[in-house]
A and B are shown apart, each in its own frame.
Chain A
Amino acid sequence: MVDATHQGAESTGHGDGQTRREFLYLAAGAIGAVGSAGVAWTLVDSMNPATDTLALSTIDVNLAPIVEGMGIVTMWQGKPVFVRHRTAQEITEAQSVKLSELTDPATDESRVKKSPWLVLIGICTHLGCIPLGNKPSDDRGDWGGYRCPCHGSQYDTSGRVRRGPAPLNLAVPPYNFTSDTTVRIG
C-alpha cells in the first residue's frame, strides 16, 4: 500500500513513471558520457602533430660532394638523416656479418638501395641521441659505423646495432635515386 501510493505520487499518472525515469536517466548519462569522451578526445588529439607538421616534405640531397669514407647529415621532417659514402672495405664488412651475430638481424642488402650509399635516420634507437661517425675523424666505435655519445650504443657500417642499450638498428627512411648523383628522401 505504502509502495503504491508512493509510486503514484511520483509517477506521471500513467503508471510507467519508474521505467520512464530510468530510461531518461540512462539516456542522459549515456549522452553525457559520449559527449565528455568526444571533448576529451578533441583535447588529446589537439596535441598530435598538426597538418602543417605532418605535410610530408621531401628533400633532395646532392651526392657529388660526399667523398668516399665520409657521411653528411641533413634534416628531414625535423629528423637528422645520415647519407654515407661507404668504402669498399666497409661494404665487405657489412655484407660478411653472420645474421646470428646481430641483435636485430637484417642483411646489408635489405638496408641499402644502391651501393655504395647508406641512407639512415640518424637517431639512436635507445633514447634518441645522434650517433657520431659521419666524419672519418669521429670515434666510430668497434664496428666502424656509428657510436652514440649518450649511453654508448654502437652500430656497424650498415647502421645495425652491435652493442646495446639500443635495441634496434638505425631506421632506413623512404628514399629513391632521382639521378646518379641525387637522392630524394621522403
Chain B
Amino acid sequence: MAHTKAPSAFKNPLIRWVDDRLPIFTMISKEYGVFPTPRNFNYLWNFGALALVMLVIMIITGVFLAMQYTPNADLAFDSVDRITRDVNGGWLLRTLHSNGSSMFFLVVYIHIFRGMYYGSYKRPRELLWLFGAVIYLLMMATAFLGYTLPWGQMSFWGATVITNFFTALPIVGKAITTWLWGGFAVANPTLNRFFALHYLLPFVIAAVVFLHVWALHVTGSNNPLGIEPKSDKDTLPFHPYYTMKDMFGVSVFLLIYAVIVFYVPDYLGDPDNYVKANPLVTPSSIEPEWYFLPFYAILRSVPNKLLGVILMFGAVVMIFLMPWLDTSKVRSAKFRPWYQWCFWFFVFDSLLLGLVGSQHPEGIWILLGRVGTLYYFGFFLVLLPFLGWFEKTLPLPASIAESVLGGGKLAGSTVAAKPMEKA
C-alpha cells in the first residue's frame, strides 16, 4: 500500500490507520468535503438530500414495525391495530411510516420536476436520470406492497385491482396473475410474499441510490443555468456550503413532516382501510393513495382494458425516455421560452390528472381525464422532440460566476450560445 499511495493527510492516528488500509475517509472528503459544486444552487437542489433522509427514515421505522407486524391474512389487521394501540410508541412509528411514504413521494416528485425544468436528464447525465427513474419505479412497487400490509378493505381491493392489471396481457395474463397471487385470488399467500418483498425492495432502492449518486459524482451536478462550471470561480466546496444548506432544508422539511404526523396523521389515509379486508364486498369506491392518482386517471380514461393498462405503464416509460425524446441542446428552461410554458402546463396537467383520478369516472371527469392524458403523452412524444427544432432559445451566460456575481455588467456580458455551452 505504502508503495502505491502516499499516507493520507489525516492527523488523527486512528483515522489515518484506517484510511491507509481502506481510503474511506479520503473518499468522503473528496466526494462530500472539497467536492466542487456549482455555486448557484437554489433550494430545489435540496430535494435529493431530502429523499435520502426519507429513505433512511422509512427503513428504520419499517424495521421496527416489522418486529411487531404479523404477515398473515387472519392476523395482520389486528397486529397493525395492536401496533397503534398497545405497542410503546407504536402509533408514532406507524404514522411516521405511513405519512413518510407520502412525504417521500412528494419530495421525489419535486426532485423529478426539478430535473425536468433544468434539463438535468440531458447529456452527459442520461444514466444518472435512468437510475433515478428506476428508483421511482421501485418506490412505486414498494409503496404498493406496503399499502397491502395492514390488510384493510383498501389494502385488499387495491391489491386486487393492481394485480389484475396483468390479466390484461394476452395468453399469459391469467397464469402470471395466479403466480403473483400464489392462488386464485388475493389471499394469505399473497400477503406473505408481499411482506417479504416490501422488506426487500427498500434495500434494492438503497443500492440503486448508491449508483445514482456515483453517477452524479462522475458528471457533477447540473445547476439552475444549465451550463457546466468552467473554473474554480463557478464552484464552491460541498462542505460547508451545501452541507449547511442541505441541513437547513432538512430541518424545515422535518418540521412540516412533524406537523402532519402529530396534527393530521389520518388526513392522507382512506377511512375504508380501517375496515378489515373482506373478500366478498368491494368498497363503493376504490381509490389509490394520492401519489398514484394521475396514473389511475390515465388507466380509467380509456374504455379498453388492455389499452388502459398499456397507457398507464407507458406514462412511466415516458420518464425513462426523456433524455432521448428531448432534442433541444439547451438544458435550463430559463433559456427556453416555449419549453417553459409547456413544462408548467405539464405540471398543471399532472395535478389535473391527480384530481380526475380521485373522482368517480362520470360526466366532465371522463372528458378531463382524456384531455389530460392526451397532453401528458403529447408533451413527451410531440412537444419534447419538436420544440428542439424550432424553438429560438435565449443567449446563455458565459459562465456561472459571471451570471451570479456579475451584477451590473451582466447585461453586456451575455454571449450567444456557443455549442460547448449547450448540453
Contacts and interface: CB of A to CB of B under 8 A. Distances in A.
Interface of A: 44, 47-50, 53, 73, 75, 77-80, 123, 126-130, 148-152, 164-167
B184 A49 contact: yes
B280 A75 contact: yes
- A53, A127, A167: residue with the most chain B Cβ atoms closer than 10 Å: A127
Nearest to B165: A127
A126 B280 contact: no
Interface stretch (B124-132, B246-254, B297-305, B390-398): B297-305
Contacts of B83: none
A151 B361 contact: yes
Interface in B281-335: 281-286, 300, 302-306, 308
Interface string B155-168: 00100111111010
A78 B164 CA distance: 15
Contacts of B284: 149
Top 3 A-B pairs ranked by shortest CB distance?
A: A128-B164, A127-B164, A78-B185
Nearest to A80: B280
Contacts of B179: 44, 47-48
Contacts of B178: 48-49
Contact of A165 (B180, B189, B281, B308): B308
B319 to A, nearest CB: 24
10 contacts: A48-B179, A53-B183, A127-B165, A127-B305, A128-B163, A129-B157, A148-B282, A150-B157, A165-B304, A166-B305
A128 B161 contact: yes
B193 interface: yes
Nearest to B180: A47
A79 B178 CA distance: 12
Contacts of A166: 305
B279 A80 contact: yes
Nearest to B181: A49
B8 to A, nearest CB: 42
Given A80-B280, A128-B160, 9 more contacts: A49-B181, A49-B182, A53-B184, A75-B279, A77-B184, A78-B184, A127-B305, A128-B163, A150-B161
B286 A150 contact: yes
A164 B304 contact: yes
A128 B279 CA distance: 11
Contacts of A148: 282
B187 interface: yes
B281 A164 contact: no
A48 B182 contact: yes
A4 B284 CA distance: 82
Given A127-B160, A128-B160, A129-B286, A49 B280 contact: no
B280 A129 contact: no
A135 B157 CA distance: 21
Give the dominant DSSP class at A's interface: loop
Contacts of A164: 303-305
- B165, B179, B185, B282: residue with the most chain A Cβ atoms closer than 10 Å: B282
B193 A47 contact: yes
Given A127-B160, A166-B305, A47 B182 contact: yes
Nearest to B284: A149
B281 A130 contact: yes
A75 B187 CA distance: 13
A149 B361 CA distance: 11
B297 to A, nearest CB: 12
Interface string B166-206: 01000000000011111111010100010000000000000
B189 A53 contact: yes
A130 B280 contact: yes
B303 A165 contact: yes
Contact of B282 (A50, A78, A150): A150
Contacts of B303: 164-165
- A80, A123, A150: residue with the most chain B Cβ atoms closer than 10 Å: A150
Nearest to A76: B184
A149 B283 contact: yes
A83 to B, nearest CB: 13
A128 to B, nearest CB: 4
A79 B184 CA distance: 7
A167 B170 CA distance: 12
Contacts of A75: 279-280
B108 to A, nearest CB: 26
Contacts of B161: 127-129, 150
Contacts of A49: 178, 181-184, 189
B282 A129 contact: yes
Contact of A149 (B167, B282, B300): B282
B193 A78 contact: no
B157 to A, nearest CB: 7
A126 to B, nearest CB: 6
B135 to A, nearest CB: 25
A44 B145 CA distance: 19
Contacts of B285: 149-150
Contacts of A152: 361-362
A38 B362 CA distance: 50
B280 A73 contact: yes
- B178, B179, B305, B361: residue with the most chain A Cβ atoms closer than 10 Å: B305
A149 B191 CA distance: 24
A76 to B, nearest CB: 9
B304 to A, nearest CB: 7
A48 B285 CA distance: 30
A73 B187 CA distance: 18
A130 B284 CA distance: 10
